[in-house]
Amino acid sequence: MGAQQLDATFFALADPTRRAILARLASGEASVMELAGPFAMSQPAISRHIKVLEKAGLIRRSRDAQRRPCRLELKPMIEARAWIERYRELWEATYQRLDSLLEEMKAASETPDEQDK
């Protein structure tokens, strides 16, 4: 994943309205009007959120007669998850080393009587 695509994905995911739109689309395609329903904002405001999601590649709009349904696209989310996963593995290894060090320090500080318990 290129840096620009990753930036666009995280920018789009940073907004709670856009995350809610993606959550709705996870259950199936929907029109802009259907997506706008739960929000107390104008249709143009929802359209701006849709455009951000589209630019990030997180959704795709198609034509179905006069209806333009939006559909979730998973590839950018999968790529963002892979990027995050690399750091999770790094953090996990760091925490494992810290746990080992703490166990060594604990064992070294125990008196012989405490070790027998």
pLDDT tens column, 32-60: 888 888 888 888 899 999 999 999 999 99
Structure letter (DSSP) for residue 38: T
CA-CA distance, 102 to 8, in Å (whole number)?
40
Contact 50, 25 (CB under 8 A): no
Contact 10, 80 (CB under 8 A): yes
How much is the pTM?
0.72
| Domain residue ranges of the chain, discontinuous segments joined by + | 1-107
Tokens of 92: 């996990």
- Is the pLDDT at 117 greater than 70? The verdict is no
End-to-end, the C-alpha distance of the chain in Å comes to 54
Higher pLDDT, 95 or 10: 10
Architecture, CATH, for domain 1-107: Orthogonal Bundle (1.10)
- Is the pLDDT at 1 greater than 80? The verdict is no
> Degrees (nearest 5) of the Cα angle 18, 49, 84?
40
